[in-house]
């Protein structure tokens, strides 16, 4: 097994790992994750570009057929690695609708059951 490959864990396993590491470790909030990502012009401008670009800081458009090793791409302008397009990332925030959100009556079984305080946000690969 390559030791520099990311692991696939769920929210509870990620929380357990943070507890095992010590009191100073926790999952980031969604807002903290966005701040760490910052304004990366390559990733935001070309995220839907159908061509497999090599100047991304991530695996957009399946340039590689699987996830890539940790720190495979260079750090973003803020100095953080792997915040785009490698694996799903758990955050502390619960999944909720925006203020005033109402599900359409024909489609209420998709997201509304997740607004129970037990479903957490994950950052999607762009």
What is the residue extent of each domain of the chain?
11-123
Q: How confident is the model at residue 54 (pLDDT cuts 50, 70, 90)?
A: low
What average pLDDT does range 64-72 have in this prediction?
Answer: 83
Q: What is the rounded average pLDDT for all residues in the chain?
A: 77
Q: Please, are residues 80 and 69 in contact by the beta-carbon 8 Å criterion?
A: no
Please write the tens of the pLDDT for every residue from 7-46.
Answer: 888 889 999 999 999 989 999 998 898 898 887 555 555 5
Share of the chain above pLDDT 70, in %: 75
Nearest-angstrom CA–CA distance, 44 and 62:
16
Q: In the chain, how many H helices and how many E strands?
A: 3, 2
Residue 110 confidence (pLDDT) above 50: yes
- Which residues is 122 bridged to in the sheet? 90
3-state secondary structure of 120: strand
């Amino acid at each position: 097994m390559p030791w520099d490959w990311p692991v696939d864990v769920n929210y509870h396993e990620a929380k357990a790992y943070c507890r095992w590491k010590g009191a100073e470790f926790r999952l980031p909030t969604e807002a903290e994750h966005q701040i760490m990502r910052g304004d990366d012009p390559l990733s935001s401008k070309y995220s839907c570009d159908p061509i497999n670009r090599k100047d991304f800081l991530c695996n957009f458009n399946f340039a590689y057929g699987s996830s890539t090793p940790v720190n495979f791409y260079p750090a973003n302008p803020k100095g953080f690695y792997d915040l785009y397009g490698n694996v799903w990332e758990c955050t502390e925030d619960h999944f909720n609708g925006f203020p005033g959100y109402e599900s359409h009556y024909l489609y209420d079984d998709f997201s509304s059951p997740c607004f129970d305080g037990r479903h957490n946000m994950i950052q999607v690969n762009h």
